[in-house]
Amino acid sequence: MEIIIYGITNSVTLVLMTLGFSLTFGISGLANFAHGAFYLLGGILTWVFMNELGIPYLLSALLSIFIVGLFGFFLYWGLMLRLRGLAINEVIATLATAVVIIEVLRYLGFSGFTYVLPEFIKGSIQIGKSWVDYQRILLVAIGIALIIFLFLFTHRTKIGLSFRAISQNERTAISLGIDSDWTAALSLSFGSALAVIAGLVILPLGSIDTQIGYDILISALAVGIVGGLESVPGILVASLILGFGQIVVATFIKAQWQTVVTLAAIVVILAVKPSGIFGKYKELEERV
Amino acid sequence: MAEAIKYRKERIDRGIKARSDTIYMLSSYRELLYILFPRVLPISFLLLSPIFIGGGYWGKVIFYSCTFALLALSWDLLASVGLISLGQALFFGVGSYVAGGFNFYFKWPLFLTIPLATFGGALICTFLLVPVLRLRGVYFSMVTLILPLLFDHLIETLEILGGTHGLLSLSPFPSHWMAVYIAVVSVILCLFGFRRLLHEDYGFVLRGIREDDRVVMAGGINIYWYKAQTIFIAAMVGCFAGALMTHYYQFVGRSAFALDNTILPLAGVVLGGSGNFAGSVLGTFILVPLSEALRALGGLRMALYSLILIIALATLPEGIFHYLERKYHQFERMVSI
């Protein structure tokens, strides 16, 4: 029972961490290595708004989602657009942005037990024999809601449809009057905002440590590599595999072996099906 | 609307470049000097600077610069087949741990562990990375980025290979000079060797793969085999750098897999200019001493490198070396349109 509960929460956590990354990658083909940095930045911004400026929680959360989203937009508009098409430079630029954000935050000393985001609802509930925080239940609910929302968003709204158009065939989309630069910038902005939402939901379970900026990136990349990056079902399946795998290993062997699961999953998937479980067209013929 | 542009800049090769092109460079000392100067300058700088600087703190800096230059050269070789590595720390760490492990657990001397780390480490890295070759560029970057970070986690949590403490008191080099000169000579060998390699037939294939892999495939060449060979060569250089550093420090720890070892060579290459190897050496020999001078900044140094990286990418995408090369070979003048 415990395994099922913690497995599900762990899997949904992984899904939340990966969604933003995969959204950006799927639409604009931009691997946003600053994903973890945005996650961290969102959490810390919210903390600063609440504790230094005294803004109420809901407002500061929305504000930090908005600010980081805007930051993502301008990162694309100001930097990525200059490097568009130069695969080497795009990749290096996002990684460098990540390192700048994380290391500056580390230098400013934003880690430790004082930096805790509030839970949405305090307390916990007993399921079977084990106690589960309300926050974890909410996390699962928000994760599922977010997936449904994203599905509806990309299939029903105009911006969402233009996202999918760009990811399917950029030139045709341009000829239909969709501004591809604008859409790609929006996609980075949405991906960053999703990273912040994930942070707001997940971070209350622990305290903020700058190292998570890199850890989140590792998790997102691991899930993406195992599942196949731009496919949402792939991410779901990979999150379930990794999430349950980690919990099973942690319960039956040792908590420290969780990393081994991730590494083993990556190595196995690379050897068997390098494009990921649901990766379709990432074979060589499709170039960046 | 601005007024119409009347002049444009024109670049023309210097006469001496044309005169010293092939065998004709032997025609006079000036032509010979023109050809030799850019080659002799870095060699003599690399060989003589340890003597002038001596063995103290800045002597160590020369050694660091050389190891990072090796990592940068290895990055540049991978980039010349179109593989964008974000994990020079993988090569560096694997080399470090292979050398350190054999030295620590089996007490093998460093003349055995360093070659072993070079070849064995390169084999390990190649086997890890070969499956990714079938995928697009960004995937290679992602996997190379994630592997060293995962190895770092693994060593930390499983307490293998010394865990968080690392492996201590490994055997040192007989003298500082030997370490420095091994590093310097290997930088020179790699620099000129790689430059030559890319102008051989073998190198044409590699560059062809970067430009258009499907054309190379259509030529009946197995590009995966060539890419795997390139990874092996690049990994050898990276692992060698790691093994050298391990025995120089007499210590190997989780820091070998740290992101610094990726970012610093990368910043060096981008600053110096990628694609011709000389730029990467130039870039690292600018950045490493600079970063040692800024040691007081502590953790902020990483942010600084990355900032340099972003600025160099956005404003000087060709790199310093290409700029210098252009000025050396060409002159510019304004011509009316």
Q: Using CB atoms, which residue from A99, A214, A288 is nearest to B263?
A: A99
- Give pTM, 2 decimals: 0.86
pLDDT for the residue B2: 59
Q: Using CB atoms, which residue from B134, B266, B270 is nearest to A274?
A: B134
Which one-letter amino acid corresponds to residue A172?
Answer: T
State yes or no: pLDDT of B235 exceeds 90.
yes
| Per-residue pLDDT tens over the stretch A185-225 | 888 898 899 888 888 888 877 777 888 888 888 888 888 88
- What gap in Å lies between CA B228 and CA B225, rounded to an integer? 5
- What gap in Å lies between CA B133 and CA A284, rounded to an integer? 9
Q: What is the ipTM of this complex?
A: 0.79
- What gap in Å lies between CA B35 and CA B16, rounded to an integer? 10
Rg of the Cα trace of chain A?
19
Residue B18 CB coordination number (10 Å): 10
- Residue pointed to by tokens 């060409």: B330
- What gap in Å lies between CA B316 and CA A156, rounded to an integer? 43
Return the domain boundaries, chain A: 2-211
CB distance B98 to B239 below 8 Å: yes
State yes or no: pLDDT of B334 exceeds 90.
no
- What gap in Å lies between CA A183 and CA A178, rounded to an integer? 8
CB distance B276 to B321 below 8 Å: yes
- Residue pointed to by tokens 């496919």: A231
State yes or no: pLDDT of A77 exceeds 80.
yes
A259, A260, A287: best mutation site toward chain B, by most B Cβ within 10 Å? A259
Q: What 8-state DSSP symbol labels residue A178?
A: -
Which one-letter amino acid corresponds to residue B140?
Answer: F
A86, A270, A272, A275: best mutation site toward chain B, by most B Cβ within 10 Å? A270
| Per-residue pLDDT tens over the stretch A1-21 | 777 888 888 888 888 888 888
Q: What 8-state DSSP symbol labels residue A131?
A: E
- What gap in Å lies between CA A99 and CA B260, rounded to an integer? 10
| Per-residue pLDDT tens over the stretch B2-38 | 567 788 888 888 888 777 777 777 778 888 888 888 8
Dihedral (CA of A159, A71, B310, B245) sign = negative
Report the SS3 class of residue B7: strand
CB distance B126 to B233 below 8 Å: no
Q: Using CB atoms, which residue from A96, A287, A288 is nearest to B306?
A: A96
Average pLDDT over residues A119-146: 76
- Mean pLDDT check: name the lowest of A115-124, B121-130, B230-239: A115-124
Mean pLDDT of chain A: 81
Q: Where are the alpha helices (DSSP H) in chain A?
A: 2-28, 35-51, 57-75, 81-83, 87-107, 134-156, 158-168, 170-175, 180-202, 212-227, 232-252, 258-272
Report the SS3 class of residue B336: strand
- What gap in Å lies between CA A19 and CA A40, rounded to an integer? 15
Report the SS3 class of residue A275: coil
Q: How far, CA to CA in Å, does B4 sit from each of A189, B8, B10, B205, B335?
A: 39, 11, 18, 45, 14
From chain B, the residues in CB contact with A31 under 8 A are 138, 141-142
| Per-residue pLDDT tens over the stretch A85-122 | 777 778 888 888 888 888 888 888 777 666 777 766 66
- Nearest residue of A to residue B301, measured between CA atoms: A103
Rounded (to 5) percent helix, strand, coil in chain B: 75, 5, 20
Q: Using CB atoms, which residue from B128, B139, B305 is nearest to A282?
A: B139
- Nearest residue of B to residue A31, measured between CA atoms: B138
Q: How far, CA to CA in Å, does B142 sit from each of A34, B150, B212?
A: 12, 12, 22
Rounded to the nearest angstrom, the minimum Cα separation between B225 and chain A is: 14
| Per-residue pLDDT tens over the stretch A192-203 | 998 888 888 888
| Per-residue pLDDT tens over the stretch B41-72 | 888 888 888 888 877 788 888 888 999 999 99
Rounded to the nearest angstrom, the minimum Cα separation between B117 and chain A is: 22
pLDDT for the residue A135: 78
- Residue pointed to by tokens 């415990």: A2
- Residue pointed to by tokens 């697009």: B136
Average pLDDT over residues B118-145: 84
- Asked if the Cβ–Cβ distance from A221 to B142 is below 8 Å, we say yes
- What gap in Å lies between CA A134 and CA A204, rounded to an integer? 11
Q: Binning pLDDT at 50, 70 and 90, where does residue A288 land?
A: very low
pLDDT for the residue A286: 44
CB distance A221 to A239 below 8 Å: no
> CB contacts < 8 Å between A and B, how many?
135
Token reading at B322: 């290409």
Rounded to the nearest angstrom, the minimum Cα separation between A38 and chain B is: 15
- Asked if the Cβ–Cβ distance from A106 to B299 is below 8 Å, we say yes
* Percentage of chain B exceeding pLDDT 90: 19
Q: Using CB atoms, which residue from A218, A270, A284 is nearest to B131?
A: A270
